[in-house]
């Protein structure tokens, strides 16, 4: 290897940071990455980025973590920019021009200047730092929209049909700028606090490792986009399991019966035939505020998988229960509005608005008991926090007796089950309860637990 000494060290710490985010990278890949550095040279940063991504990552999911981490270990520049930003208005003028021209390189340089000029806070060496939030608050790039639009139109760039797309395009460019500012602020902080720590803390995890309970709005929207591909993947997995299951076990009775013609020696094993029935699925979803992100996602996922089952029925509850199968079927075209529509059109609450598992499960057993039969698998989705009311264990026992299987998916950390008003341990004694905090866990569970 003829890579410069510092590079090897930097590369291994980059790999370390990526591993800390749960991306699996072996030594072999690290060596490949070093060979890639050797082949590509260090002159072009973007080439280096692509080269390292190609050698270190194995799937599309890691890219989101890789890019910010790469920016930290192979920064665009070091220290502060040569020229100081002249002033807020001057910077805004130049930003507007760059946005109008859609000049990526210039935007990057402006982000550096902006953080340097407006992002610094604190004066003592221990407590100072750089904030992208503060930079963007002072600079307010979103308010440039009208100006940039008029500028582009004024120069004749906005004629014809495509003109109506202009505003959205500018909005996307502004988003790019905001991301650039965030990356730059992270880099400046990293110079101060140590790169490894920032790489570990300030880089968002990959989307399939985000916890449902703590995911923000943007993250949930991102999650929803993964529903269709995930459903396709799970469907293939289910189909494979079904194929394997249909080979079946040996049917002893018919094997022995067949062996009579060969003098009692079982020459030909007869396999048990399986009736081709598609299983039924019933979902009971807690859609109260605390866990609605999790329920929404799972409902959409199951709806996307509906052709794998003969019947899927979905019930939503807060403290009363109502069927939402129909809403869901129409809801796939507009997943963002789903929870709002469920809240508006289904009767989910009685006298108060907080969730009550006992009431809801009791009502289900009483009113919709016929939805559950010997072929039905029931999934209960929720955190089992009953707000101190009666968990109504007999109702759960009744459902469990009638159904083929009952599974409970709990989006809470296992160590928190049973703390406060959680009735999780009591329910877990009656039905199989699984921790399901992230999409990764969910897809493993769904692939394993769904009946075939």
Partner 1 sequence: MFTSVDDVSARLAETGYLASPAVATTVFLADRLGKPLLVEGPAGVGKTELAKAVAEVAGARLVRLQCYEGVDESRALYEWNHAKQLLRISAGRDETWDETRTDIFSEEFLLTRPLLTAIRGDEPKVLLIDETDKADVEVEGLLLEVLSDFQVTVPELGTITATRRPFVVLTSNASRELSEALRRRCLFLHIGFPEEELERRIVRLKVPGLDEALARSVVRVVGALRAMDLRKVPSVAETIDWARTLLALGADTLDETVVRATLGVLLKHQDDVLKATAKLDLDAL
Beta carbon of residue 106, minimum distance to partner 1 (angstroms, whole number): 15
CB-nearer residue toward partner 1: 62 or 411: 62
Identity of the residue, 40 or 426, whose beta carbon is nearer to partner 1 in the bound complex:
40
Binding mask 172-191 vs partner 1 (x if CB under 8 A, - otherwise)?
Answer: x-------------------
* Contact with partner 1 (CB under 8 A) among 164, 217, 247, 275: 164
Among 8-16, 38-46, 105-113, 190-198, the segment contacting partner 1 (CB under 8 A)? 38-46
Minimal distance in Å, beta carbon 372 to partner 1?
Answer: 32
CB-facing half-sphere around the CA of 118: CA atoms within 13 A: 24
Question: What's the distance, CA 289 to chain centroid?
Answer: 18
Rg of the chain over Cα atoms, rounded to whole angstroms, equals 28
- Choosing from 45, 84, 201, 225, the residue that interacts with partner 1 (CB under 8 A) is 225
Site for partner 1 in 85-124 (CB under 8 A): none
Should residue 84 be labelled a site residue for partner 1 when binding is judged by CB under 8 A? no
| Contact with partner 1 (CB under 8 A) among 229, 269, 369, 373 | 229
Torsions phi, psi for 200 (to 5 deg): -75, -40
Q: Backbone phi, then psi, for 340, in 5-degree steps? A: -60, -40
Q: Please report which helix (H) or strand (E) contains residue 282, including its range.
A: strand 280-286
Quote the least distance from Cβ 94 to partner 1, whole Å.
22
Read off the DSSP letter of residue 281.
E
Give the nearer residue to partner 1 in terms of CB position, either 51 or 293: 51
Among 3, 32, 147, 418, binds partner 1 (CB under 8 A): 32
Does 337 engage in binding with partner 1 (CB under 8 A)?
A: no
Show the tokens assigned to 240: 């494979």
- Cβ neighbours of residue 124 under 8 Å, at least 6 residues apart? none
Binding to partner 1 (CB under 8 A) within 133-162 occurs at: 160-162
Cβ nearer to partner 1, comparing 267 with 340: 340
- Distance, in Å, from the CA atom of 110 to the CA atom of 108, rounded to the nearest integer, reads 5
Task: Determine, following the binding rule CB under 8 A, whether residue 168 of this chain makes contact with partner 1.
Answer: yes
- Using the rule CB under 8 A, is 50 a contact of partner 1? yes
Q: Least Å distance between CB 355 and partner 1?
A: 29
Element spanning 207, H or E: none
Tell me: does residue 236 bind partner 1 (CB under 8 A). yes
Q: Taking CB under 8 A as the rule, does residue 63 contact partner 1? A: yes
The correct pick among 55, 132, 303, 377 for binding partner 1 (CB under 8 A) is 55
Q: Does 303 bind partner 1 (CB under 8 A)?
A: no
Let me know: does 320 contact 363? Beta carbons within 8 Å.
yes
SS3 367: helix
Length of the chain: 452
Do the Cβ atoms of 432 and 410 come closer than 8 Å?
no
59 belongs to the binding site for partner 1 (CB under 8 A): yes
289: tokens are 């505020």
C-alpha angle with apex 214: 210 to 215, nearest 5 degrees?
55
In three-state form (DSSP H/G/I as H, E/B as E, the rest C), the secondary structure along 406-434 is: EEEEECCCHHHCCCCCECHHHHHHHCEEE
Neighbours of 202 (CB within 10 A): 16
217 in contact with partner 1 (CB under 8 A): no
Contact between 167 and 149 under an 8 Å Cβ cutoff? The reply is yes
The answer to whether 339 contacts partner 1 (rule: CB under 8 A) is no
Residues of this chain that bind partner 1 (CB under 8 A)? 24, 26, 28-29, 32, 35-36, 39-40, 44, 46-47, 50-51, 53-55, 57-60, 63, 160-162, 164-165, 168-169, 172, 225, 228-229, 232-233, 236-237, 333, 335-336
């Amino acid at each position: 290897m003829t890579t410069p000494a510092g590079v090897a060290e930097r590369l291994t710490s980059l790999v370390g940071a990526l591993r800390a985010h749960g991306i699996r990278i072996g030594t072999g890949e690290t060596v490949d990455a070093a060979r890639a550095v050797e082949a590509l040279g260090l002159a072009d940063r973007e080439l280096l980025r692509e080269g390292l991504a190609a050698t270190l990552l194995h799937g599309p999911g890691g890219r989101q973590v890789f890019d910010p981490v790469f920016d930290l270990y192979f920064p665009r520049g070091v220290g502060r920019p040569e020229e100081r930003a002249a002033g807020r208005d001057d910077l805004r003028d130049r930003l507007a021009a760059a946005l109008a021209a859609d000049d990526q390189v210039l935007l990057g340089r402006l982000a550096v200047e902006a953080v340097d000029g407006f992002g610094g806070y604190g004066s003592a060496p221990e407590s100072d730092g750089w904030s992208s939030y503060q930079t963007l608050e002072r600079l307010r790039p979103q308010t440039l929209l009208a100006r940039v639009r008029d500028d582009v139109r004024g120069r004749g760039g906005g004629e014809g049909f495509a003109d109506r797309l202009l505003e959205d395009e500018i909005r996307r460019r502004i988003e790019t700028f905001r991301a650039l500012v965030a990356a730059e602020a992270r880099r400046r902080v990293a110079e101060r606090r140590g790169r490894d720590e920032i790489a570990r803390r300030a880089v968002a995890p990959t989307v399939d490792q985000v916890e449902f309970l703590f995911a923000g709005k943007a993250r949930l929207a991102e999650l929803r986009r993964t529903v269709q591909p995930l459903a396709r993947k799970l469907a293939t997995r289910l189909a494979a399991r079904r194929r394997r299951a249909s080979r079946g076990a040996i049917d002893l009775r018919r094997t022995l019966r067949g062996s009579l013609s060969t003098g009692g020696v079982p020459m030909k094993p007869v396999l048990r035939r399986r009736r081709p029935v598609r299983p039924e699925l019933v979902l009971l979803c807690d859609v109260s505020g605390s866990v609605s992100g999790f329920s929404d996602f799972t409902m959409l996922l199951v709806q996307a998988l509906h052709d794998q089952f003969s019947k899927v029925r979905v019930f939503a509850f807060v403290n009363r229960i109502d069927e939402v199968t129909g809403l869901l079927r129409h809801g796939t075209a507009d997943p963002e509005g789903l929870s709002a529509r469920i809240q508006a059109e289904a009767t989910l609450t009685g006298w108060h608005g907080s969730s009550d598992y006992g009431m809801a499960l009791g009502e289900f057993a009483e009113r919709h008991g016929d939805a559950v039969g010997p072929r039905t698998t029931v999934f209960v989705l929720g955190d089992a926090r009953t707000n101190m009311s009666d968990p109504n264990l007999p109702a759960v026992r009744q459902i469990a007796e009638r159904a083929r299987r009952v599974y409970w998916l709990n989006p809470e950390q296992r160590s928190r089950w049973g703390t406060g008003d959680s009735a999780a341990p009591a329910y877990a004694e009656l039905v199989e309860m699984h921790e399901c905090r992230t999409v990764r866990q969910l897809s493993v569970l769904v692939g394993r637990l769904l009946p075939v």
